[in-house]
Structure 1
Amino acid sequence: MSRTFIGDLLIFLSLVVASLAEKKLTNTLFLDDGSVFQVNLTSLHDYSPYTKRIAIEANSISTFNVTNVSSSASFIIFQIHVYLYNITLSYDKDNFDKNSNRSIFGSNVGLFSKVTTNIVTPLYVKNDNVHRVEALFVAIAYHNRSPVPGGCNMEFNTEIAPYTMVQTDDTMITVDVQPASMPFNNVRHSCEKDVVPVEMYHMFLTGWDFSVDSYFAAIISMLTVTDIMENGMQVTSSTVFSPMRRVFSAYTGFGSVYVAVATYGNYSAAYVPAFSYACHPIVDPDSCKILPDFSSNFICALCFIAGLLLLYPKFQFHVNTIQTTYPYILIFRLMSNLTLGWFFGCVVYFSSPESFTILQNNWLFWIFFVTFNLGIALIMMLLLDFASFITCAIFSSFMIILSLDYWIGSTLKYIVINFMRRITVEGFNLAIIEHPTEAKDICLILLWICLALYHFLKQLVIYFINGNRNDSSVFPSENRPLLR
């Protein structure tokens, strides 16, 4: 009876899963070479975009015929968002050249279309990949009081460029848009400087989530101006270069959506959102590996073991060998305290808000960092033996946390990585280092605090026990170990 019940349950669950999969496939539009899709936009508004999941066959050209556009619309931003691959979106069937001023090539592309009296407005999509790609077709209409995203384009290929260009490397993600113009209003649009402010927004996905559904859900959540302001985080513009550019620190494996919003008066319009995983999970899976080989995993394991061993008294570090003369003690303490000051400086830099643009200036950054480092070192010098306890507790516990961080894919490793990028990578001083914070990051931070407190208190107890055993003074002589 039990086996029959379990078997029936498994069959029922299989039918449910199959029905859900069939429903999902039914909701996806499949387009092969020569397909024509009629897009009815009667009820289209800027707060309610038209969206459609599509699958485009390999080596195919499809046509989207846009009809029945609402009479209140002045222009439309058409978008195609492709999961991990590139396609071409074009005004004309004969202009699929990647360098054409009538088409755009990429994975998050869009074109501007002014609403006219034409009954049908055609758009063409070419998939020149050797396999089918999954994509999202989007159309958003704006009225004649809205600014035009990319309407004052001077650098991108198309005359009006509402899309976002993203360049990703191992350390930085560079995001560019083109200036917006005033509303067209059937007259020549104005491109005077700073007439139409443009703000950038940014949203992180869950780390190491490379699923296609999460990708499209993230894009959909950042399409309209209202959704962007609710779900995204506004990014402060740099004081050094163009307000149309933002540079972000690359957090490998964390999906990010980037989108700009142009505002003129009481009306706003959104650019086409762009996306990056800071790696290439399908084209180059190795680029998404944090520990790419055996040696790096082995070193990580050694750090974890060393951190655990330092929690036990018989494995803790003693400094008897350097306490023969007082100058050596001072040198050791100074080096130890400067190292701790450097680490605290890395933590402050890692945790600084993106609006703290003063650190983009190299001189101000180094003045702040050196002053902060020396200040921490001076405070630690005044704490005498207790400074050694604090240093040992923080670094031994961080060895454990750092290893766990690499294995579970959180972001605490970037406490050190971002600082190393800051001093070695050209242009990283302009990068926004705002990082994702997930439940696993919070858990690791709490564990780090607990381990550090446990290690510090244990050393403190041993310190006072040994002090009371040898003399009545609270502080032992300089010939006694600083760390036990």
Structure 2
Amino acid sequence: MGLLRLLLIVVLASVTPAAGGAEIVGNSSEGLLEFSVGKFRYLELKKPFPEEAILRHISSNVTFVIFQIHSQYQNTTISFSETLLPNASVTGTDKGLVSILRPEQSMCTWHLETLDPEPVQNVAIPLSYSESDPIPGGCNLEFDVDIDPNIYLEYNFFETTIKFAPANLGYARGADPPSCDVKTGPDSRWRLQYDVYQYFLPENDLTEEVLLRHLQRMAEVPQVQANAVKVVTLTADDKTSVSFSSLRGQGVIYNVIVRDPFLNTSTAYVPTHTYACSFEAEEGNCSSLGRVSTKVFFTLFALLGLFICFFGHRFWKTELFFIGFIFVGFFFYILITRLTPIKYDVRLIVTAVAGSIGGIFLVAAWWRFGVLTLCMLCVGLLLGFLVASVVFFTPLGNLKIFRVDAVFWVTFSCIAIFIPVVFMGCLRILNILSCGFIGSYLVVLAVDSYLYTSLSYITLNILRRALHVDFRRAFMNVPFQTNDFIVLAVWGMLAVSGITLQIRRERGQPFFPPHPYKLWKRERERRVTNILDPSHHIPPLRERLFSQLAQIKGLFQREQPAGERTPLLL
């Protein structure tokens, strides 16, 4: 019996949740959900069945409680009362309310419900704070709730913007709150600072379970500081708004920690998340991000890029078509996107046509004029563009000075021009390097059309900067996870292999092919003067064309009678 009792105790201890962990609990049959401070609880809400959340035994040194609830994409409503009032309820996927405690108050209640016809999976937690902790959203003048600890998020294709209400200093139970804008000295809320944090979910994972689990790492101050990346620190003089580059299909969680440097205390706002896409859209939702046109375009382009990566210098005219296509196509896409409202698929087709014309034009210019310097300038500028894009893909691109368009584009152009200038004395090396790096990078873009990778944003961020004026204020942070390391290794391997192969194969060969027009002209003169050359006796092109047309015309003419068809009798 003693052994059985010991085993029972061990089993019960193993299933007891750890402190601060998540309690996986279903709906209460009585519609009452018991919560504990600092412990997450999973729950399911259904449309006709509202729930009441209750927190008991609140300590006397707690002055306010933040109750927050999260779901993936279905809205949940949280309110102080059963009757929904605009200034006492909030609705969304990541929402919370601040309960200011009265003297002797030891219990708080909140009402939870959803208007979504489908059941909504949620995770919720109440967090308690003392009178020395700042109150997030305590000086709210913009949103409906009087004290609003929520972060409001908006996104489009280019940028994701978060906004939040300024905080106020903490105060004791029963005391009047400090005034927000009467004075701006060190004893007012103007001494508060706001740290904005960003946390990336695992790439290519859109599951609800993963999101709700990772949201638990972004609710409390110590966890946020340990797991997330601090992007920027705002003061009370700054606007409480921060923009980020939108990462379509990539889960991102944002949170803000308000700090009181005088008392060395801090409080976390209610975290919010986004995938920069819609789960409920019929077309282009989060589950089917890649368009068919994009996949076809970049797959074909990647095949051409692979050929250029390994054989570009040998097939010089093909490479020139490739370079001209990218040059004209890139600028033409920017032009028609900014000036016309046509749809994406049409823009892609028109861009492909314009790029093909640009490639043919560059090949024709080389064939007729043979100006190697002009062709290599285009090649070098394209490599310089890629190098400059990589430079601004690093944390250097988030420096405040580069938010000024003039500074950004001048610096970007200088880096792009610097590359062909440096290699002007060794044009063959410049050409082979361009073939290797640019051709292999197209494989990265093709991979991104099927599977998310952050490396595609090396050039996509530059395109966004050129298309969208407000993108200059966005922080261009991206995750760098397992998929990205694999794609980076493939890119590097292809580039090094292509460059090495072309350098070894071109040893002892002419640096560049001769001028095609001069060769053609010399050959034509040789045929005219050399009567022993069989080609000398070939009729001119015009006569040959007329002869061919006459033969074709004869096929459709009726055969004329040739006289008597029967033999004469002798």
Aligned AA for 2:224?
I
Of the three residues 464, 476, 483, the one matched with 1:433 is 476
- Residue aligned with 2:455, SS: coil
Of the three residues 96, 99, 116, the one matched with 1:110 is 96
Q: Aligned in 2, Cα 1:285/1:120: closer, same or farther, shift over 3 Å?
A: farther
Q: Aligned in 2, Cα 1:172/1:313: closer, same or farther, shift over 3 Å?
A: closer
Give, in whole Å, the separation in 1 of the partners of 2:503 and 2:305: 18
Give, in whole Å, the separation in 2 of the partners of 1:207 and 1:382: 44
Aligned to 2:124: 137
Aligned to 1:75: 64
Q: Aligned in 2, Cα 1:197/1:107: closer, same or farther, shift over 3 Å?
A: same
Residue 315 of structure 1, CA deviation: 9.5
Aligned AA for 1:204?
F
Give, in whole Å, the separation in 2 of the partners of 1:391 and 1:210: 37
Residue 361 of structure 1, CA deviation: 1.1
Q: Do the aligned partners of 1:182 and 1:190 also contact (CA within 8 Å) in 2?
A: no
Residue 322 of structure 1, CA deviation: 5.9
Matched, 1:250 2:246: yes
Matched, 1:89 2:78: yes
Q: Do the aligned partners of 1:172 and 1:249 also contact (CA within 8 Å) in 2?
A: yes
Structure 2: gaps (5+ residues): 1-14, 16-21, 318-362, 517-570
Residue 107 of structure 1, CA deviation: 0.6
Give, in whole Å, the separation in 2 of the partners of 1:74 and 1:354: 42
Q: Deviations over 1:333-374 (max 9, x none)?
A: 111111221222222222235651221111111121111112
Give, in whole Å, the separation in 1 of the partners of 2:276 and 2:299: 25
Q: How many pairs were matched up?
A: 437
Q: Do the aligned partners of 2:313 and 2:431 also contact (CA within 8 Å) in 1?
A: no
- Residue aligned with 1:248, SS: strand
- Residue aligned with 1:260, SS: strand
- Residue aligned with 2:27, SS: strand
Q: What is the aligned-residue RMSD (CA, Å)?
A: 2.7
Residue 389 of structure 1, CA deviation: 0.8
The higher radius of gyration belongs to 2
- Residue aligned with 1:385, SS: helix
- Residue aligned with 1:76, SS: strand
Q: Deviations over 1:27-59 (max 9, x none)?
A: 332258x822233x4xx3xxxx12110001123
Q: Deviations over 1:401-457 (max 9, x none)?
A: 221232222122222211111111131100111111111111111211121111112
Relative to the length of structure 1, the TM-score reads 0.84
Relative to the length of structure 2, the TM-score reads 0.72
TM alignment of 1:160-175, pairs within 5 A: 160-175=147-162
Q: Do the aligned partners of 2:380 and 2:434 also contact (CA within 8 Å) in 1?
A: yes
Aligned AA for 1:189?
P
Q: Aligned in 2, Cα 1:70/1:138: closer, same or farther, shift over 3 Å?
A: same
Q: Do the aligned partners of 1:59 and 1:129 also contact (CA within 8 Å) in 2?
A: no
Identity, in percent, stands at 22
TM alignment of 1:44-443, pairs within 5 A: 44=37, 49-96=38-85, 100-116=86-102, 117-185=104-172, 186-191=175-180, 192=184, 194-237=190-233, 242-264=238-260, 265-284=263-282, 286-288=284-286, 289-293=288-292, 295-311=293-309, 313=311, 316-319=314-317, 328-353=371-396, 355-443=398-486
Q: Which moved more, 1:397-406 or 1:176-185?
A: 397-406
Q: Aligned in 2, Cα 1:322/1:196: closer, same or farther, shift over 3 Å?
A: same
Aligned AA for 2:216?
I
Give, in whole Å, the separation in 2 of the partners of 1:155 and 1:59: 32
Residue 26 of structure 1, CA deviation: 9.4
Q: Which moved more, 1:275-284 or 1:128-137?
A: 275-284
Aligned to 2:514: 479
Structure with greater helix share of residues: 2
Give, in whole Å, the separation in 2 of the partners of 1:395 and 1:386: 14
Q: Which moved more, 1:303-312 or 1:354-363?
A: 303-312
Structure 1: gaps (5+ residues): 1-19, 468-475
Q: Deviations over 1:73-120 (max 9, x none)?
A: 111111011221111111121125xxx011111110000012222454
Q: Aligned in 2, Cα 1:479/1:336: closer, same or farther, shift over 3 Å?
A: same
Give, in whole Å, the separation in 2 of the partners of 1:382 and 1:59: 76
Give, in whole Å, the separation in 1 of the partners of 2:395 and 2:282: 32
Aligned to 2:537: none
Residue 477 of structure 1, CA deviation: 7.2
